[in-house]
Amino acid sequence: PQESKKTTAPANQGALDEALRNGEWTMADIIANDLVKQDPKSPIGAFVVDVSRNVLLHGRGLALSPYDFPYVDDSAKAKLRSWVQGLLSANQSNENILILDMVLRLKGFADNDGAIRDLETALKLAPNNTFILSALGGLYGAKGRINEAEGLLEKALTLDPKFSTAYMNLGM
């Protein structure tokens, strides 16, 4: 009999970090889910489940979608910040980790300027990533940088004409 491919991974922080560094959002979701099962109060597990599900299920359109951290208190936010900063310092040229940092800055700390810096760096690494183009365009629009926003959002729609989040951000 043929063995079926394993769709599980060791539920540990190292495996999660590796999946995120590699942009393996499905595996990151599986591992984070297992982390939450092991520790329901794990802010890192819950955060990654939220981000990965948004990335996987909503066409990478999470940047301006309703999103908050109801499970995160100040202590958990500090732990998340430390974890993401550790990932960034270990692998600074990774757009997937920059996406995590952007979401944390934007939704956890209301740091729009920091989120914009993350996305500008990520865009240099992945200039045709429609999620990054749309998220940055949406943030530029919210800051009144309309011409820059339109250019990025139109590029995202040229690359993926069905990317609904880019249409929503363009309508801002």
DSSP string, 19-49: HHHTT-HHHHHHHHHHHHHH-TT-HHHHHHH
Q: Quick one: pLDDT at residue 56?
A: 67
Region of 94 please: left (phi>0), alpha (psi -120 to 50) or beta: beta
How many Cβ atoms from other residues are within 10 Å of residue 158's Cβ?
A: 13
Helix (H) or strand (E) holding 84: helix 74-90
pLDDT per residue, tens digit, the chain (172 aa), is 333 344 455 568 888 888 888 888 788 888 888 888 888 777 888 788 777 776 665 554 444 333 445 555 777 777 887 888 888 777 555 777 777 777 777 766 778 888 898 889 889 888 998 888 988 998 899 899 999 999 999 999 999 898 887 888 887 5
Q: Quick one: pLDDT at residue 69?
A: 52
Q: Crossing angle, helix 43-57 and helix 13-21, to 10 degrees?
A: 30
Token pair in block for residue 139: 């943030």
Region of 124 please: left (phi>0), alpha (psi -120 to 50) or beta: alpha
Token pair in block for residue 1: 């009999």
Q: Quick one: pLDDT at residue 23?
A: 80
Q: Write b or e for each residue in 2-25: b if 16 or more Cβ atoms lie within 10 A of its Cβ, otherwise e.
A: eeeeeeebebeeebbbebbeeebb
100 to 36, 47, 54, 132, 160: CA distances (angstroms): 18, 9, 12, 12, 22
Q: Quick one: pLDDT at residue 11?
A: 66
Q: Quick one: pLDDT at residue 157?
A: 92
